Structure 1
Amino acid sequence: MKNNPWNYEEIWLAIEQHDRHYANIFVSNDFRTNQNGCLILIQGLSVVRAGQWSRACCINESLDIGAMFPYVTKAKEHNLSVIILNRNQTSYIDKETYSNHEDTKASSENLHSFYLSPDSLPLLSSTKPVSNLSTSYEHFLYVYDNIIAKMSPTEKFYIVAHSAGGDNLTYLLRQRQDCILSKLSKIVFIDAFHAIISSDTDEIKKFFQYNALHFIASDKPMGESIHFSQKPFCSEVSAQSFKT
């Protein structure tokens, strides 16, 4: 993401901990100046990191399917800035504790395998939660409060949320409704987990009803209306694909 043709800026979190950075996100080079609009991309659960929707699809199909490149390309075509979250990077290896393990050889290769493993990150005694970013909910809230709200000048946001990222999105709306809802233009869910609860405001429910779209794996043609949920609170359409 940091190289051509994207040239995105990498921001390390938490930003107030100048000597210790544990989670990285990416923003387009016009993120701080673009007033036309901003696209927020949030991935789902598991081992995927910033810029990825699915590692399996990246390997078995193509980067156009498994990575976010087509989305950032479209954003540029429509003059939108972009911010890519990294909701699953919520822990890190404490190198000092790690090096003191008798049964563990502290090396850069072992540390790389921890962060790049295709499996869920192991819960070791040397694994520590990232302060203020120890859950995916904290991650999105922190990024919104400290990066999006403070650095982006736009008054118009678009969000694409995949899988469990949909749950993070609804959490953000509940926590920051007064700040973001009036600036939110459209939401797209992709095979996402999300739900309306009894305490949700009428404003949130109405926004989902008229401004949210849920793409769901189906054998129907792309964009065709489908009936997947028993009580959908937003429009559901076919993504013209099968889950694997």
Structure 2
Amino acid sequence: MRSSWLSRVVSSLLLSGFIANIIVTALIQESMERGRFPSTIAEFGYTFDENGELKGKDGQRFDFEVRKGDKEYNQRHYEALGECITQHVYSLLETDCGLERATVPERTATRGQPTSFLFHSSDLATNDRKLMVLIHGSGVVRAGQWARRLIINNNLNVGTQIPFIKRAISEGHAVLVLNTNENAGLNSKGVRTYIPESDSPEAHALYAFEYFVKPSPAREVYVVAHSYGGVVVTALARESHAARNRITKIALTDSVHSLHGCSRKVVAWLQERSINWVASKLQLGLPVSRYGGGAHLPSVSAGVDVHEWTSSSAMESIFTFFNDRPSDPGSDSSPKSSAAKRSSDGEASADARVDSGLADLKSEQDTSSVAQSESVEESLPMEESQCVRESQPMEESQCVQESQPMEESQLAGESQPMEESQPA
């Protein structure tokens, strides 16, 4: 008798839960029909599976066209989902990677003004060995992301910085993840204003280096920067003594920076520490010639010819570069090592091919650095303090118009390049 009674209760509860789920789903759907979108991935009907792929309840991948033929609605739906993914990645940085969130500005915040934040490992203030700083591109991406569309259309491993973070931590690095696109927010009066010390990507990075990198006891500081992150790096080189005194090596991935306006000293400093892994059909790590006048940073192939994929594709090559013999941040010694020493039985390994490419790159760089520096000195006499603000508009417009729309249209359908009008 009791068993029968319990069965009826359980059945009633299951039925109630099923009905409640239908009601909630209907309400969410009605809300979306009215243009109000959910605030979580789950409410959108999606989840990330064990492979980091975004899947619906039916196991299907994301479909951009929610309403057939309604591009405006589909775009708004996509952007709302993207905002939920941003919050999800923030959560993963804290729960999956063990990072801590820190307010920006922390020491110079004004009461009532909006603030931003960044993420760092718990050993940032104590790790005296190595520190890795990660800088994303521009546009809609935030801390922890390389490309939102790769997250949505592919998986978390290629679209986020999480593999870099976990690898760095496993190799003994402290980690600092910048959030350079979080530049405005609501003040205490509900008015949207710029965030002090973080009103631009460059300002955010300058603050981070002054208050987080400069006090760090790490002997070696490595930077990984994607796309417009390269512009941020050149700004650091021009304006931040903390950056020039602390950075050991710089890995750029298809950076859209320009050295226009940099002094010969800054150009030489960047060239001695940097490699740009560019989109190319060449094999990973092989040197890539850069055309045009003026100075260039050393460039190698990222092993893919699509802008957004360069960071994930080049990761192994980047860590090989970082793990090679470090250079003194204050010296003129180059970090680009010579050797393809990891081959065995006459057949080069992947790491050896990378090292061989870096050796060729170093040789090419040595033969041209003097001429390049003279070219910069003669044609670009501006002071270092002048060059950042004057050169950025051109670089940012190049990033939007030249690099990304074609690549992004290949990933997510005709309508989605609207997002890329804000450079990734």
What's the TM-score, normalizing by structure 2?
0.47
* 1:158-206: CA deviation from partner (whole Å, max 9, x where unpaired): 11111111111111111124x332432110111112122344242x322
Which residue pairs with 2:244 in the alignment? Answer: 181
User: Are positions 1:31 and 2:96 aligned together?
Assistant: no
Greater helix fraction, Structure 1 or Structure 2: 2
Decide which of 275, 296, 307 is 1:233's aligned counterpart.
Answer: 296
Q: 3-state DSSP class of the match of 1:46?
A: coil
Highest RCO, 1 vs 2 (Cα 8 Å, sep ≥ 6) = 1
- Coordinate RMSD, CA, aligned: 1.9
Report sequence identity in percent.
Answer: 25
**In 1, Cα distance between equivalents of 2:273 and 2:210:** 23
Q: 1:91 aligns with which of 160, 179, 184?
A: 184
Say if 2:115 and 2:196, in contact at 8 Å, map to a contact too: no
* 1:62 to 2:127 alignment: no
2 CA distance for matches of 1:180 and 1:14?
18
- Please tell me whether the aligned partners of residues 208 and 233 of structure 1 are also in contact (alpha carbons under 8 angstroms): no
1:40 alignment partner, one of 133, 147, 169: 133
TM-score by length of 1: 0.80
Q: 1:167 aligned to 2:237?
A: no
Contact 2:100 2:119 in 1 (8 A): yes
Aligned length: 212
Distance 1:230 1:42, change over 3 A: same
Q: Specify whether residues 229 and 73 from structure 1 end up closer, same or farther in structure 2 by C-alpha distance, changes over 3 A only.
A: farther
Structure 2 residue aligned with 1:11: 102
- Counterparts of 2:212 and 2:233 in 1: how far apart (Å)? 16
The Cα offsets for residues 105-163 of structure 1, whole Å up to 9 and x where unpaired, read as xxxxxxxxxxxxxxxxxxxxx3211122111111111111122213x111321111111
Computing the radius of gyration from Cα coordinates, the structure with the larger value is 2
Instruction: Name the CA distance, whole Å, in 2 between partners of 1:211 and 1:142.
Output: 22
CA distance in 2, matches of 1:45, 1:148: 22
Secondary structure in 1 aligned to 2:276?
A: strand
1:207 match: 269
Partner secondary structure for residue 96 of structure 1: coil
Please list the CA deviations of residues 200-226 of structure 1 after superposition, one character each: whole Å capped at 9, or x if unmatched.
Answer: 242x32233232110111222111112
Moved over 4 A (4+): 18-21
Amino acid corresponding to residue 236 of structure 1 in structure 2:
S
**Greater share of strand residues, 1 or 2?**
1
Runs of 5+ in structure 2 lacking a partner?
1-92, 308-406, 408-424
Which of residues 155, 171, 175 is equivalent to 1:82? 175
Is the contact between residue 164 and residue 192 of structure 1 (CA under 8 Å) also seen in structure 2? Answer: yes
Q: Distance in 1 between matches of 2:240 and 2:168?
A: 24
Distance 2:245 2:194 in 1: 33
Check if 1:127 corresponds to 2:192: yes
Gaps of 5+ in 1: 98-125
Separation in structure 2 between the aligned mates of residue 82 and residue 18 of structure 1, nearest angstrom: 27
| Aligned residues of 2:104 and 2:197 also touching (Cα < 8 A) | no
Deviation at 1:23, TM superposition (A): 1.0
